[in-house]
Amino acid sequence: MRSYLRTKIRDDAAEAALFQRRAIACFVGVVVLIGILLSNLYVVQVMDHSEYQTRSNDNRIRLVPVAPNRGLIYDRHGTLLAENQPVYSLEVVAERTDDLEQSLLDLAQMFDISEQAQQEFLKRVKAQRRFKPTTLLSKLTEAQVAQFSVNHHRFPGFQITAGLKRHYPYHKTLTHALGYVARINSNDVLDLEMEGKSAMYAATKDIGKLGIERFYEAQLHGQPGMQEVEVNSRGRRVRVLNSTPPQAGQDLRLTLDLSLQQKAEELLQGRRGALVAMDPRDGGILAMVSNPSYDPNLFVHGISSKDYSRLLNDRSRPLINRATQGQYAPASTVKPMLAVVGLEKGKITEKSRIWDPGWWQIPGVERKYRNWKRWGHGWVDVYDAIVKSNDTYFYDLAYNMGIDTISEYMLQFGFGQYSGVDLKEESAGIMPSRDWKQVRYKEPWYIGDTISVGIGQGYWTTTPLQLTEALLVMINRGRHFSPHLVQAIGDDGQLAAVEPSERPPLVLKNDKAWDIVHEAMIQTAKKRFADASYTAAVKTGTAQVFGLAEDAKYEQDKVAEHLRDNALIVGYAPAEAPTIAITVVLENAGWGGANAGPIARALLDHYLDPKPETEVANAN
């Protein structure tokens, strides 16, 4: 019985068959898996070889953009005004750092970086893409470069880079004309992305912010290059496999005369105001000074909060370009232009006269509009009116012409609109009219408003650049050049001249009007320029900053400094064939002839009749 049970329980044949089936199944499974593996190896090694090779190269090879050298800026005589200097900077690529904040703390101790500067740096890093470098410190000294190099192993992701930075060798002398470059910020990044120019600035850290640097950014920036670089497992460069060199930006030659610019700056020292000098033959700006000014180099490497706050809160407003943004009542400097219109419209003639008792009245109105000379000039013709700057004559002329005529013609002189100068920082000023007042103040235009406009006061405001532009229209007998700063553009020493642009001319039927006003301005200049080696033509102006009561007397010593009159003068020389036209505006300086006049004389002497060095030395 026991033997039978053992036989029943153990079936050797069945077990052998089961083992055989399992062995075959396992073998088949192994064969299938090996087949799958071989198949995958074939796909990877043969079919997808190119793709995986490219991925491998992407890890081993990187495309690195190379920043182009920024174009240089010269004055009309070839003097370098904006250059590029070699500098060392400390940068970080955020994605390669182990602990950015700890590394920053260690570097702050090494290089004495303020807590505020650290916070600003972290904000820039967050605003930047993590694979792009962000500058921590710029303009490192050789000692700082050596100190970091010794400790480089402690700061993964940080590196010293050499490059070129903008430098302005004449500092504040040319700030408001040249402008400056500064770091690209988040707003700039957004603008570049919207304009589709992000790739152009992949390796560039700076961009033009103001002045010529901003207006001609596209020409000055250049085209970036590219390097194909092999890197090791730590991301460090091993070798350069291929490279496309960048294309440097184009150079600019300006119409500015550095010597004249420096002289103008010297003459305005200690005063708030602006000076513009232009070439009447083409509208080129010879000098453009706004005082006070500031050093643009402060912004190139990142201005400190302390320095920026000082400039921003300065009551003298050095950040404003007074030459193109300052808005001033033109006062008597526009009387020659008004006389031209009066002669053209037949409201006055060369010989017509009016009686000036020292005041003028609107018919049927009691209020008296006072002449600056309270007892008057007696009988006055157009020559006397300009030479003596007679207010009564121009009150009467404005009344007879009306605001519509005045506004129509003054717009053609360039008042109340942008000049077209190659700067973005410009104000249009105000050339008042009926419609303008209705829109601005919701009020009708009154005759009294016209009377004030007749002497360049009231609502009328202009910039020194606009005033010089209008003067050029008069010099050129209606031909209207747009002011400009760039004379030629090019590279490799091959600069192509930029043709000056012109606006529609101011055409007069009475062409003699130009001659009459021209002669009157020559007579105005005779006293101050009697001993000059050239003939000049000028017109002065004194602009009220606040209105006086009808019978009130202006006493400068009793008026707060910021409420005192502005002093102005416009002029050109040589009168027979002008090569220079100038406008000087001095804020709160008082009488135009006494204060702005000497500056105009000194500047014209410097340009047209420079003294030999020995004579200057003896004079001192």
Q: Which residues are catalytic?
A: 332
* Whole-angstrom distance, CA of residue 189 vs CA of residue 568: 43
* Whole-angstrom distance, CA of residue 170 vs CA of residue 168: 6
CA atoms within 13 A on the CB side of 462: 31
Residue 617 belongs to what H/E stretch? helix 613-619
Residues 6 or more apart whose CB falls under 8 angstroms from that of 434 comprise 403, 404, 444, 445
Residue 159 belongs to what H/E stretch? strand 158-167
Write the DSSP symbol of residue 232: -
* Whole-angstrom distance, CA of residue 32 vs CA of residue 45: 20
Using alpha carbons only, give the angle 201, 233, 199 rounded to the nearest 5 degrees. Answer: 10
* Mode of pairing for the β-strands spanning 502-503 and 480-481: antiparallel
* Mode of pairing for the β-strands spanning 133-137 and 73-74: unpaired
Structure tokens given for 50: 């190119």
Q: Determine phi and psi for 145, rounding to 5 degrees.
A: -60, -45
Using alpha carbons only, give the angle 197, 198, 201 rounded to the nearest 5 degrees. Answer: 95
* Whole-angstrom distance, CA of residue 468 vs CA of residue 473: 9
Residues 6 or more apart whose CB falls under 8 angstroms from that of 237 comprise 229, 230, 231
Using alpha carbons, select from 487, 489, 469, 488 the residue that is nearest to residue 479.
469
For residues 574 and 502, the answer to whether their CB atoms sit within 8 Å is: no
Span between the terminal Cα atoms of the chain, in Å: 146
State whether residue 429 is helix, strand or coil: coil
DSSP string, 242-261: EEE--BPPPEEEES--HHHH
* Whole-angstrom distance, CA of residue 458 vs CA of residue 177: 30
Using alpha carbons, select from 151, 69, 160, 122 the residue that is nearest to residue 492.
69
Q: Determine phi and psi for 299, rounding to 5 degrees.
A: -85, -25
* Mode of pairing for the β-strands spanning 285-291 and 273-278: antiparallel
